[in-house]
Amino acid sequence: MQARQWGLERVLDIQGRVNDGRGAMPAVSLVDAEEEARIRELWAMNVWPQRWEGTEMQGDVPFVPVLETERGHAYLFGVPKGGKPLREVRYAKRRA
């Protein structure tokens, strides 16, 4: 939730700064007041995007994506320096 709040504040800040310096140009609306109110209402109800639970890994911890294959697994971006990564995230092979 903290990252979602941080992200919204950044978007609203950018929107405000753009509009403050727009001069005679039309205002830019990335998130309008009604959308912001709905976002905050959903946060208050602890509603998460579809299939999210709030327990997902955070983006501030390094990880290496690993692709599951018929022959085992493969690091998507090569073997990490120093051997094993702090955390592996495994992605199953997509089925047709």
Of the candidates 70, 71, 78, 76, the residue with the CA atom closest to the CA atom of residue 90: 76
> Does 14 score more than 90 pLDDT?
yes
What does the block give as tokens for 31? 């998130």
DSSP3 helix / strand / coil % (the chain, rounded to 5): 30, 15, 55
Q: Which pairs count as long-range contacts for 11-17, CB under 8 Å and 24+ apart, including other chains? A: 12/36
Q: What is the pLDDT of residues 38-82, one digit of tens each?
A: 999 999 998 877 777 777 777 777 666 666 666 656 555 566 566
| Contact between 15 and 36 (Cβ < 8 Å) | no
Mean residue pLDDT of the chain comes to: 77
